[in-house]
Amino acid sequence: MEKKPILFEGACLFSLTGSSIGILYTLIATVFFQYVTGKITQFSNITATEYLSPLYFAILMAAFTLSLVGVIKLKRMQRSGLYFYLVAQALILFIPVFWLGSNAFSVTNTIFTLLFSGVYLFHYKYLSKR
């Protein structure tokens, strides 16, 4: 495919941005854990952060990194990127649920994951098998 569709390019751009921001936020939360948990209780309705740990944020950071690798491969039109991306997004959706309970499930994140995954799956036939 010589020219990528604008929808595919847009999805890649937004996914690159989202994965990069996710890596940055989870890196900050891992390194400055005590400060971040204080801010979480101060600025959100979460009052108990005893289930959070630096390991939780490090695992999420690894999932965001896997997602970024997948998106970079997708941008290069490599089919393997789709598999990286889908696994990473499933981890990003369900790690909070397993770690913190069912209240941690994000409907908004699920909608965006399904939307972007749908765009990538629609263009699956154009991706090379590398």
The per-residue pLDDT for range 36-94, each reduced to its tens digit, is 988 888 887 666 678 899 999 999 999 999 999 999 999 999 999 999 999 999 999 99
Distances (CA, A) of 4 to 73, 86, 128: 14, 20, 13
pTM: 0.91
Q: What pLDDT is recorded for position 15? A: 97
Q: What pLDDT is recorded for position 129? A: 78
- The span from the CA of 62 to the CA of 115, in Å, is 22
Question: For the chain, what is the radius of gyration of the CA atoms?
Answer: 16
Residue 103 reports pLDDT greater than 70:
yes
Q: What pLDDT is recorded for position 13? A: 97
Query: For residue 44, is it left (φ>0), alpha (ψ between -120 and 50) or beta?
Result: beta
Residue 92 contacts residue 109 (beta carbons within 8 Å): yes
Q: What pLDDT is recorded for position 128? A: 86
